[in-house]
Amino acid sequence: MKREYDFRRGKRGAVLPRTGKTRITIYIDDVVLDEFRKSADAEGRGYQTMINEVLREYLGRSQKPMNEALLRRVLREELKKAIKAA
């Protein structure tokens, strides 16, 4: 180990910059956060990931792949609308 190190060219921040995500501070109601944490724990996932997915869905940019449960839900909703319209 050297006695002294030269940090003149040093830069603050992460060694490897993250791409695609940004760390922010946000205020969320305690009740809302508690519900996300409970739901995430029940599913064995992270609550921040769950919040991100909900926000993506709200924006119409969900990246969830179409699975059987989602397909069934969409079909039920659309059939319900079609029956009411008939």
Q: What is the DSSP string of 45-70?
A: S-HHHHHHHHHHHHHT---PPP-HHH
Q: Which of 10, 33, 14, 11 lies closest to 22 in space, CA to CA?
A: 14
Global pTM value: 0.53
Decide if 8 is inside a domain.
Answer: no
Decide if 51 is inside a domain.
Answer: yes
The mean of the pLDDT values for the chain is 87
Predicted confidence at residue 63, as pLDDT, reads 65
Q: Under a CB-based contact definition with an 8 Å cutoff, are residues 70 and 77 in contact?
A: no
Predicted confidence at residue 84, as pLDDT, reads 86
Query: Domain residues for 60?
Result: 30-85
Q: Which of 79, 77, 74 lies closest to 64 in space, CA to CA?
A: 74
Decide if 6 is inside a domain.
Answer: no
Predicted confidence at residue 47, as pLDDT, reads 95
Which of 4-13, 35-44, 58-67 is most confident? 35-44
